Every structure is written in structure tokens, then in C-alpha cells.
Amino acid sequence: MQRASRLKRELFLLATEPPPGITCWQSPDRLDELRAQILGGVDTPYERGIFDLEIVVPERYPFEPPKIRFLTPIYHPNIDSAGRICLDVLKLPPKGAWRPSLNISTLLTSIQLLMAEPNPDDPLMADISSEYKYNKQLFLLNAREWTERHASQ
């Protein structure tokens, strides 16, 4: 019951006061599945890209974080080819920083920030991470190319 009322409140806020560049809505057929879109930030290699994400809200939400993954391929050191995201707020302590006071809007904003500021020291994709660290121009070129190929509408 707590999950349903909290989710309803969060979705209302996401619909009426969405964070800039983020939209989120409920899957028409499943109550525990949401979809989101994040616009690539200005002055990032993801600029003008529209990235689709899937959000699965667990039974124990908000005591357990939602599972969020990219459906749109993205060239990023902290996001793997399956769309999984390496971000502390998406994991429970002790390894993660999830707290019940966080919400889906906060998580999507954190993912948007991660897109603009990758963390090459905690990579999911080691090769992209070392490219980001040691050959940033090539990384930016590849990331722009992927954005044009996969995230342009």
C-alpha cells in the first residue's frame, strides 16, 4: 500500500514539476514499471540525444531502490551494453547510498548528472573508462557518434 501511494505522489510531481530535461510516466500495462526519457545535456557529447530508460519499482520500495536501466544504447564508462548503470544511489548500503528519503526524480537527476560528468574511477566499461581518462577527444567523438546513431529522434 505504501508503495502505491508513494508512487502515485511521485508520478504526479514528475508530471507537474519535472526536472529539466526529464520526463517520466507509468507503463500502461504494469503498475510497477515506469518509463523515462532524459535529454542529453548541452555541451556534452549526448547533446540533442533522447535516451529512454526503464524503471522497475520493487515490492519493498521505498526501502529498496528502483532498478533503472538505459534502453537506448549510450557510450559511457559507467553504463554497460545492457544499459545497467553504476551509480551509488541505485544500490543499498553498505556498498550503495540509497535511502528511502530519495525518490525517482532524484535518481533520474543523478543519472542525468552522471551523463554529464562520468566517473572513470568506478567504471562498468573499463575500455571506455581508460579512453575517457587517456584520450578524451576520442571518447567525445565516439560518444557523439553513438548519440547520433542511437539517440536521435
**pLDDT tens by residue, 50-71:** 999 999 999 999 999 999 999 9
User: pLDDT value at position 24?
Assistant: 97
What band does 115 get if pLDDT is binned at 50, 70 and 90? very high
Share of the chain above pLDDT 90, in %: 93
Enzyme catalytic residues: 86
User: Is the pLDDT reported for residue 1 higher than 90?
Assistant: no
Share of the chain above pLDDT 70, in %: 99
User: pLDDT value at position 95?
Assistant: 92
The answer to whether 3 and 59 have CB atoms below 8 angstroms apart is yes
Cell of 62: 521505498
User: Is the pLDDT reported for residue 153 higher than 90?
Assistant: no
Q: What is the C-alpha to C-alpha distance for residues 40 and 152, in angstroms, rounded to an integer?
A: 10
Nearest-10 Cα torsion for 109, 111, 112, 117? 120
Fold of 1-151: Ubiquitin Conjugating Enzyme (3.10.110)
The answer to whether 125 and 76 have CB atoms below 8 angstroms apart is yes
Cell of 55: 524503471
Helices (H) and strands (E) in the chain, counts: 4, 4
